[in-house]
Chains A and B, each alone.
Chain A
Amino acid sequence: MFKKIVFTLILAFYLTEFNAQKLVPNIPLETFKGTYTTMNKELSEDNFYILSFWATWCVPCINELDALNEVYDELSDKLNFKVLAISTDDARTMRRVRPLVNGKSWKFDVLLDENHDLKRALNISGLPHTVITKQNQILHRRVGYAPGEELDLLDKLRQYELE
């Protein structure tokens, strides 16, 4: 049994080291209109996108999005990026998303991944989970949010901008 655990762990780390998901899968997501869009369509512009996976009940997720919202106006043009907040709220809390977004005056676009199709396709286990992408290529991803970490995320964007 112990051997199996060790084997699985080594395999997992091996996979992490040598392979990485390269593209954002073209999964359909719901809009506030109830209609569907696809990731290819949403990520079609030639700028950076920050995909932030969140839920209305996830306190650190809201903290991260509140913090990004604070700097969004000032920096989104300068650093040439857009934020797409992807709600993973299911039928229990999904109806709360649009009022919450308006109540918080968030400026970015929000999409709904109600049955976690995109979350599953990107193999996301914990929230918040943030992905930086450009032209569908995944450049960076991270799990969790510590206060102030949005600044680190923006630093990453500056680095990519220079490359």
Chain B
Amino acid sequence: MSLNRFALFVVLNFFIFDGVSQSTNFFYGSFESNGVYYQDSESSDYDKKFASNSYLNLKYNLNNKWVFDLQTESYLPLALQNYSDLLEDTFVSTFSINFNPNDFNFTLGTIYEQFGSGMLLRTWEDRQLGINNSLWGIRTSYKKQNLRFVLLGGYQKKANTISEGKVFGFDSEFTLYEDKNTFNSLLVGLSYLGRLEAPHYVSYPFDDLTNSFSVRIDYNTDSFYLNYEYAYKSEDGVVKFNTVSETFVKNGNANLLNAGLIKDGVGIDFTFRRLENMGFYSERVEFGSPFFETTLNYLPALTKQHDYLLTNINVYQSQPNISFQDPSLMKAGEIGFQLDAYYNIKKETFLGGKYGTKISLNISKWNNINGNYDYENEDYDLEFLGFGEKYFSEQSLEIRKKWSEKFSNIILFVNRYYNKRFVEEKVGEINSKILVFDNTLLLNGEKSMRFEIQHLFTEDDKKNWLGYGAEYNFNYNFSAYFNSIVNYGNELEDKPAYSNFGMSFSKNASKFMLSYGKQRGGLMCYGGVCRYVPEFKGLSFSIITSF
């Protein structure tokens, strides 16, 4: 009996014998399945084929002290387009035993953890992106009043196998000051993460063990906050074309500064970040893997995360790494900032109207780090505050307004610059403006409808796009939608158009969705992480349920 079957057998037995439990011992879990019949795909491997990804998670709670957690995944008959080739068939993906007496917490097996803001370590699961970079090992944490300490070590999950590199580290946080009745607090933190991976055939001029550490400080008051985190990664070989360089050896560092002002009805947040060679993987050669396998840290793009179809074209991806493509395209990281402002115009004022108006503004700008880059000798010398070639900039303004009991809308304007050459290492620069109107109308009973219209204006790349869509909610459980985006400005004879229609049914903690249509190919981004997806047309379904 394989390990997979054995684990499933044990869990099912647990479940069967637990049928009548009513104490604190109980089973729970979730099931999710996403499938597509590819009627037509850019990728010949998928043309006229069915593919699906399914996840069954089962947990067992024992006396509120123990949690047993098992996740089985199925990629049958094959994984959805652009998920790792290693994801195939059915296998036990994660398994852990967690013991949680008072101040201590022990985990054996799968570990999800984040140190600070994740610049050294973040292990998490994102099914939409096919990321599960959890560690397989042991973790212990201790938490008491003003101290929090985590110690862990293990191997990293890599699809259905584990990585070769070993990972171990600790995270600590001390609350130096806290006022129970206000927001006033002062905290400091210190983390360490080591990655040990011995190279196979070559003797490299750097250590097998790469050390990284970070320090952070977090200061909060009722009306102001300030956080700063510094991270450092010791010398390591630069990876190019899946090969670790014997000559190009560099250390890395990161600076993250964040400050905000808070008042009732107003909120302002400012973030500055400088990343220099901070990509970190438990297997060096997985560097830049499109499936994010063995990635250890989380360095997302710090830009506004959008939710509309046309605003998701030309989305920025963070540039934490060294890349020497040619003498005119050399990067060693990124430097930039983001500003967010939120303002609530009060009810019964001239601009606020009867229901008030909510405004949010976002400004971001990201550049290469300026310095002397030497292509021949594979070296660079960077300025600390040097803004080099611009990668991306964006200004966006969103106004949310409720006009009456029944009608409300959102107006969004985005002005964006995207340097395709420096971000994607392709050709071109794109200046675009996007306008979105998203309207909601409440009808009788539980019925409501939403309709949106959006336009992307640009003279560059593929030119103008128009998008529109409508959604009708028959009741709180059942809705149907249609949306379409048309690249009508494109010089191609056949203007690319992507239309989709579908329905969704939800009841309690379950949701079922069915849709048919053509999906745009290209860079798809969720949660600040992007991946290329081939264009396809097909029938998709999705089931999620928690129990």
Contact = CB atoms under 8 A, between A and B. Distances in A.
A20 B510 CA distance: 12
B19 interface: yes
B260 A90 contact: no
A28 B144 CA distance: 12
Interface residues of A, number: 67
Interface stretch (B21-29, B235-243, B327-335, B374-382): B21-29
Contacts of B90: 4
B531 interface: no
Contacts of A56: 305
B74 A95 contact: no
B547 A15 contact: yes
Interface residues of B, number: 100
Secondary structure at the B interface, as helix, strand, loop or mixed, is: strand
A78 interface: no
Contacts of B64: 23, 26
Nearest to A94: B117
Nearest to A55: B305
A131 B173 CA distance: 31
Contacts of A63: 440
A124 interface: yes
Interface stretch (B41-49, B161-169, B262-270, B495-503): B262-270
Contacts of B77: 1
B125 A98 contact: no
Contact of A32 (B183, B301, B511): B183
Contact of A152 (B476, B511, B545): B476
Contacts of A11: 31, 56
B421 interface: no
Interface string B493-521: 00000000000101111110000000000
B476 to A, nearest CB: 5
Contact of A91 (B298, B304, B306, B510): B298
A103 B220 contact: no
Interface stretch (A43-51, A79-87, A140-148): A140-148
Contact of B341 (A23, A99, A117, A122): A99
Interface of B: 15, 19, 24, 26-33, 52, 54, 56-59, 61, 64, 67, 74, 76-77, 90, 100, 112-114, 117-118, 122, 124-125, 127, 143, 148, 175, 178, 183-185, 187, 218, 220, 225, 227, 258, 260-269, 271, 298, 300-302, 304-307, 340-344, 358-360, 400, 410, 438, 440, 442, 446, 448, 450, 473, 475-476, 479, 504, 506-511, 527-528, 543-547
Given A32-B220, A146-B448, 18 more contacts: A8-B54, A19-B26, A35-B187, A90-B300, A94-B117, A98-B225, A102-B265, A105-B264, A116-B112, A117-B112, A123-B57, A123-B546, A124-B546, A125-B127, A141-B546, A143-B508, A146-B446, A147-B450
